[in-house]
Amino acid sequence: MIEIYDFRSSIDYKVIEKLTNRSKLEDKRIDDIVYEIIQNVKMNKDKALFDYTLKYDGVEIDESTIMVSQEEIDDAYSKVDGDFLSSLRKAIKNIEDYHKNQKQKTWMDFKDGIVYGQKIRPLERVGIYVPGGTASYPSSVIMNSIPAKIAGVEEIIMVTPIKVGISPFVLVAANEVGIKKIYKIGGAQAIAALAFGTKSVPKVDKIVGPGNIFVAIAKKAVYGFVDIDMVAGPSEVLILADESGNPCYLAADLLSQAEHDVMASAVLITTSIEVAEGVKMEIERQIQYLERKEIIEKSINDYGAIIVVNDLDVALSIANEIAPEHLELVLENSFEMIGKVKNAGAVFLGENSPEPLGDYMAGPNHVLPTSGTSKFFSPLSVDDFVKKMSILYYDRKSLMKVADDIVRLAESEGLTAHANSIKVRYK
């Protein structure tokens, strides 16, 4: 069960350390498993991919069934109802609107014989990972692919394991955003296939999307062969609440992320002992009627905490140290506190902006940095799907104005061929 830690007289740094060191992607046992899977797929291609899919997902696939067919898409539409489709389309519209604002422009500057600028080019082919081990995520399909589409990516290759069955919701979501190639593979083997290519699965330029610890470690391992967005692992939420917090809402928000994974993390930091006790009671009450009770119990037992502090500055310094994926500020003056937030993937303000609003509907991306990496990673965005090229033109007069400077700098590095490239142009 979730524990209350009273830090009002002194902070127990061991608790903070436990929360900040959660799933730091340093599990040697998992590293070894993932390394072996990657090497095997790199060497034995499709054969290894099919074997691992049978081993880990219990599903037999081959060259003719690895990809989702048009019949499977049509069948999926017959299994989802109109209300789902209308909610999905509403979400797609909001996510598109939000991400369109992220589009960067190519720019060129012209001055006296000189032109320089920066051209934005979309990546050609990207792989998106949609988790599917313990739940299926149509929302992650749209969150991963919409920024890619807006960036102008030509080809999106989607992979998703079908351990829990091939979800019609996932297939419909993929079709609604125009994804044409969906492969029924997951885990480290899917990441390896996207990174190195197999006969069935095309090699991509970049792999994006969240997943469990095997997926996160695999992405880290193939980085360099392909680009990756970030290392987005098991979900987490950290809530800062004062005495105005409603224990029923706060408990529900904590449980919403705890249900993702046995390694998910849910932490409340509050200035009120009454709120802390109320939330603990509410968690015990609400957990009884939730379906993924076993996962939740394990995650809140291992990576959950309710921390009571004296003031909000202490609460914020702990939150900044943990650097959570999601930070809810449920405070009388939530807006006033934003300036003090240094590290978080996504910030939710006030009691009517619960985390699942961001997971599904509001517009910002739900693929976010986890495990403290919001100290340096940002949410998935249109930027992830473009690269930038610099552009340069000098006329002769402009080059001669800086020729001596270039020669001097080149010679300071002992690079006479560089200097010569300028000198041969002297008159």
Ligand X SMILES: N[C@H](CO)Cc1c[nH]c[nH+]1
Residue nearest to ligand X (CB): 235
Least distance between ligand NAD and beta carbon 43 (Å): 18
- The yes or no reply on residue 253 touching Zn ion (CB under 5 A) is no
Q: Half-sphere exposure of residue 228, counting CA atoms within 13 Å on the CB side?
A: 26
* Among 253, 261, 359, 384, interactor with Zn ion by CB under 5 A: 359
- The yes or no reply on residue 241 touching ligand NAD (CB under 6 A) is no
What is the C-alpha to C-alpha distance for residues 99 and 381, in angstroms, rounded to an integer?
A: 7
- The yes or no reply on residue 212 touching ligand NAD (CB under 6 A) is yes
What is the C-alpha to C-alpha distance for residues 164 and 167, in angstroms, rounded to an integer?
A: 8
Least distance between ligand X and beta carbon 129 (Å): 13
What is the C-alpha to C-alpha distance for residues 82 and 173, in angstroms, rounded to an integer?
A: 13
- Cβ(340)–Cβ(315) below 8 Å: no
Query: Contact letters (x/-) for ligand NAD, 140-169, by CB under 6 A?
Result: x--------------------x-x------
- Which residue's CB is nearer to ligand X, number 37 or number 171? 171
- Cβ(335)–Cβ(33) below 8 Å: no
- Cβ(327)–Cβ(341) below 8 Å: yes
What is the C-alpha to C-alpha distance for residues 423 and 414, in angstroms, rounded to an integer?
A: 15
- Which residue's CB is nearer to Zn ion, number 209 or number 278? 209
- Which residue's CB is nearer to ligand X, number 23 or number 140? 140
Q: For ligand NAD, which stretch binds (CB under 6 A), given 87-95, 148-156, 293-301, 367-375?
A: 367-375
What is the C-alpha to C-alpha distance for residues 251 and 285, in angstroms, rounded to an integer?
A: 9
Annotated catalytic residue, options 236, 282, 326, 366 = 326
Please report, as ranges, the residues that interact with ligand X according to CB under 6 A.
137, 139-140, 235, 257, 325, 359, 366
- Which residue's CB is nearer to ligand NAD, number 232 or number 279? 232
- The yes or no reply on residue 262 touching ligand NAD (CB under 6 A) is no
Least distance between ligand X and beta carbon 235 (Å): 3
Annotated catalytic residue, options 325, 328, 351, 355 = 325
Q: For ligand NAD, which stretch binds (CB under 6 A), given 3-11, 231-239, 265-273, 398-406?
A: 231-239
Q: Among 271, 317, 229, 336, which residue's Cα sits nearest to residue 8?
A: 271
- Cβ(238)–Cβ(348) below 8 Å: no
Give the interface size with ligand NAD as a residue count (CB under 6 A).
29
Q: List strands edge to edge, sheet with 326-330.
A: 4-6, 304-308, 265-270, 236-241, 326-330, 346-349
Q: Can 366 be counted among the known catalytic residues?
A: no
Binders of ligand NAD in range 6-35 (CB under 6 A): 33
What is the C-alpha to C-alpha distance for residues 107 and 223, in angstroms, rounded to an integer?
A: 30
Residue 235 among known ligand-binding residues: yes
Q: Can 99 be counted among the known catalytic residues?
A: no
What is the C-alpha to C-alpha distance for residues 232 and 370, in angstroms, rounded to an integer?
A: 5
Binders of ligand NAD in range 38-67 (CB under 6 A): 56-57
What is the C-alpha to C-alpha distance for residues 422 and 427, in angstroms, rounded to an integer?
A: 11
Q: Among 189, 186, 182, which residue's Cα sits nearest to residue 168?
A: 182
- The yes or no reply on residue 343 touching ligand NAD (CB under 6 A) is no
Binders of ligand NAD in range 119-138 (CB under 6 A): 131-135, 137
- Cβ(169)–Cβ(136) below 8 Å: yes
- The yes or no reply on residue 260 touching ligand NAD (CB under 6 A) is yes
Tokens found for residue 408 = 């001097």
Residue 326 among known ligand-binding residues: yes
Q: For ligand NAD, which stretch binds (CB under 6 A), given 80-88, 205-213, 314-322, 329-337?
A: 205-213
Within 10 angstroms of residue 405's Cβ, the number of other Cβ atoms is 10
Tokens 């060259």 locate to 63
- The yes or no reply on residue 187 touching ligand NAD (CB under 6 A) is yes
What is the C-alpha to C-alpha distance for residues 301 and 266, in angstroms, rounded to an integer?
A: 10
User: Among positive and negative, which fits the CA dihedral 200, 206, 212, 213?
Assistant: positive
Residue 223 neighbours by CB under 8 Å, 6+ apart: none
Which residues in this chain contact ligand NAD in the complex, by CB under 6 A? 33, 56-57, 131-135, 137, 140, 161, 163, 186-187, 210-212, 214-215, 232, 234-235, 260-261, 264, 366-368, 370
Known binding residues for NAD(+): 129, 189, 212
- The annotated binding site is made up of 129, 189, 212, 235, 257, 260, 326, 359, 413, 418
Site residues for Zn ion per CB under 5 A: 359
Q: Which residues are catalytic?
A: 325-326
